């Protein structure tokens, strides 16, 4: 069993472990960071020049477009209503589905524009790519407004904002920090980091260039996680507008030229009704569950409920609750999980349960805590994901499970030390009354716990005396008379009085015969 578990662990761990096969050279250790190909670091002055050059190139491109836009006619009527979406929280597959449905609805109803109110710390890279691809192919102008004040376009939000036809931000907002990270919130290590970073940076530059924005800053936001406020974003030509409200945004957009499917035309936004497209109930549920801390708690509750149902079959409620929690986290696929981490957490639960039955002097508990903490750190550690579990929650869960295991173990040890309260073991040592006299080596009856039991003894015990149960042999009690019991004392006195009389009678009979 242990060998099978080890092989399964190595299989799920994948490339984490490397062993040399017979006849092959041993695996080479990973190259040190100094040996890997790295881009030269720029000084602050060089970086400022690079960003300024990127902003100048973006403005020149925008100016070239504006030179030909003067001949475009003014439009008096909008094609249709303006639709509005709200993106708040992490970017998940549910978010991507919501945006794609909004774009499709705006296309079908020939909307004048689609406004997206954005406030996100980041999310899944794959979902972000799907959304950006839909933006670039959309027949309806996409306007992204990072707001209201205090909102941010972090990580994945950078790509969503830069890919819009018009990008705007509210005062007191920021944008940036788009470097890909692991699910633990740390850097992706080794050659994989270089590959993912280069790929993402090239994608960011491509989007920014296509939309006439600062490609140099987009590259820097990916490589160095640069983050800037709205004023600097406008200065560096990362965004187009800084507006404090959606009403002001509509005023600023009126008459602005956008290019959609190769055609440039002026927007009509003044007096146009704005309709908000709400998420469906299922999308709202999935978005609510997209909190990694909540998903982690549900996962632990689910695991505990399933193990409790296996331990005490028939309770039903723990099993149902556990199954529902696991289905919400794993079945709905709210966030991608690392299955090796899932195995570690399952192993931790097994260790905590085994500690109750196996005397390991705390070794199984320690192993369970190690597996729980390791699995928790790795649970959402997948490439292209910004989700991670709060470290305080992980250690709090580890402390709680440890305390629970220790408490249960302590209670069990106390119960083992207590005398049995029922069964054959509990009958040993009881003082019971003799109902029918027990001859020496013979069998009689005693009253024990309100019922009649057969009893045997090496010494005689008269009826009405008290005896102590030595042990149980099947349905027969082996007893021992108690010295000084009333019946035994009376029996002894009668024997003492009867003995001289018997002797005198014997002597009289002898004299008569002689």
Residue pLDDT, tens place only, 136-193: 999 999 999 999 999 999 989 999 999 999 999 999 999 998 887 654 445 566 677 7
Residue pLDDT, tens place only, 306-345: 777 776 777 788 888 888 888 877 765 566 667 788 788 8
- Architecture of domain 50-280 in this structure: Alpha-Beta Complex (3.90)
- Of residues 90 and 148, which shows the higher confidence score? 148
Which residue bears the tokens 């006195």?
493
444, 478 in Cβ contact below 8 A? Answer: no
Q: Where are the alpha helices (DSSP H) in 238-291?
A: 246-253, 281-288
Give the residue-averaged pLDDT of 236-257: 94
Rounded CA gap, 70 and 254, in Å?
15
Rounded CA gap, 148 and 232, in Å?
17
Neighbour tally for 155: CB within 10 Å? 28
**The dihedral of CA 42, 48, 49, 50: what is its sign?**
positive
Burial class (CB in 10 A: 0-12, 13-18, 19+), 472: middle
Number of H helices, E strands in the chain: 17, 16
Q: Where are the alpha helices (DSSP H) in 14-43?
A: none
What beta strand segments (E) does 147-226 contain?
152-154, 166-169, 174-176
Phi and psi at residue 268, to the nearest 5°: -120, 110
Does the predicted TM-score (pTM) go above 0.75? no
Give the residue-averaged pLDDT of 95-104: 94
Which residue bears the tokens 């149960």?
469
Rounded CA gap, 61 and 290, in Å?
39
Give the residue-averaged pLDDT of 45-51: 87
Q: For the residues of 412-469, what is the DSSP string, one character each?
A: HHHHHHSPPSSSHHHHTT-EEEEEE-B-TTSEEEEEETTEEEEEE-SS-B-TT-EEEE
Which residue bears the tokens 């509509």?
250
Q: Output the pLDDT for position 181.
A: 66
Q: Output the pLDDT for position 111.
A: 94
Domain boundaries, the chain: 50-280, 289-417, 424-488
455, 438 in Cβ contact below 8 A? Answer: yes
| DSSP, res 91 | B
Rounded CA gap, 70 and 33, in Å?
53
Kindly indicate whether the domain formed by 424-488 is annotated with CATH number 2.40.50.140.
Answer: yes
Please, what is the end-to-end C-alpha distance for the chain in angstroms?
A: 93
């Amino acid at each position: 069993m242990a060998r099978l578990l080890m092989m399964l662990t190595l299989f799920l761990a994948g490339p984490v472990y490397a062993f040399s096969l017979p006849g092959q050279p041993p695996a080479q250790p990973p190259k040190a960071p100094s040996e890997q190909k790295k881009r030269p670091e720029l000084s602050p002055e060089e970086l400022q020049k690079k960003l300024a050059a990127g902003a100048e190139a973006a403005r020149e491109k925008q100016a070239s477009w504006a030179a030909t836009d003067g001949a475009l006619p003014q439009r008096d009527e909008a094609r249709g209503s303006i639709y509005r979406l709200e993106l708040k929280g992490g970017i998940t597959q549910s978010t991507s589905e919501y945006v794609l449905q909004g774009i499709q609805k705006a296309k079908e109803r020939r909307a004048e524009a689609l406004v997206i109110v954005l406030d996100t710390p980041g999310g899944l890279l794959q979902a972000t790519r799907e959304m950006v691809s839909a933006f670039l192919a959309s027949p309806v102008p996409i306007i992204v407004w990072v707001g209201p004040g205090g909102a941010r376009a972090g990580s994945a939000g950078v790509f969503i904002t830069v890919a819009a036809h018009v990008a705007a931000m509210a005062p007191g907002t920021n944008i940036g920090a788009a470097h890909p990270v692991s699910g633990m919130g740390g850097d992706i290590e080794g050659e994989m980091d270089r590959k993912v970073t280069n790929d993402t940076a090239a994608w960011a530059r491509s989007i920014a260039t296509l939309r006439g924005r600062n490609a140099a800053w987009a590259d820097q936001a990916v490589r160095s996680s640069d983050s800037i406020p709205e004023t600097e974003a406008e200065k560096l030509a990362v965004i187009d507008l800084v507006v404090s409200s959606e009403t002001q945004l509509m005023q600023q957009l009126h008459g602005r030229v956008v290019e959609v499917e190769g055609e440039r035309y002026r927007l009509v936004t003044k007096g146009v009704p704005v309709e908000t497209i709400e998420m469906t109930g299922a999308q709202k549920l999935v978005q609510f569950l997209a909190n990694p801390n909540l998903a982690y708690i549900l996962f632990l509750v689910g695991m505990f409920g399933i193990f409790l149902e296996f331990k005490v079959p028939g309770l039903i409620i723990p099993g149902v609750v556990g199954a529902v929690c696991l289905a919400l986290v794993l079945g709905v696929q709210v966030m991608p999980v690392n299955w090796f981490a899932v195995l570690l957490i399952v192993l931790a639960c097994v260790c905590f349960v085994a500690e109750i039955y196996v005397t390991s002097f705390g070794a199984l508990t320690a192993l369970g805590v190690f597996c729980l903490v390791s699995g928790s750190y790795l649970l959402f550690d997948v490439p292209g994901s910004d989700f991670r579990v709060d470290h305080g929650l992980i250690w709090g869960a580890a402390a709680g499970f440890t305390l629970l295991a220790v408490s249960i173990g302590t209670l069990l040890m106390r119960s083992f030390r207590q005398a049995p309260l029922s069964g054959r073991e509990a009958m040993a040592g009881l003082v019971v009354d003799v109902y029918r006299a027990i001859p020496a080596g013979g069998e009689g009856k005693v009253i024990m716990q309100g019922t009649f039991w057969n009893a045997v003894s090496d010494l005689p015990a008269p009826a009405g005396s008290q005896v102590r149960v030595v042990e149980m042999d099947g349905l027969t009690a082996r007893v021992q008379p108690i010295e000084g019991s009333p019946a035994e004392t009376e029996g002894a006195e009668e024997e003492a009085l009867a003995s001289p009389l018997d002797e005198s009678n014997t002597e009289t009979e002898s004299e008569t015969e002689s």
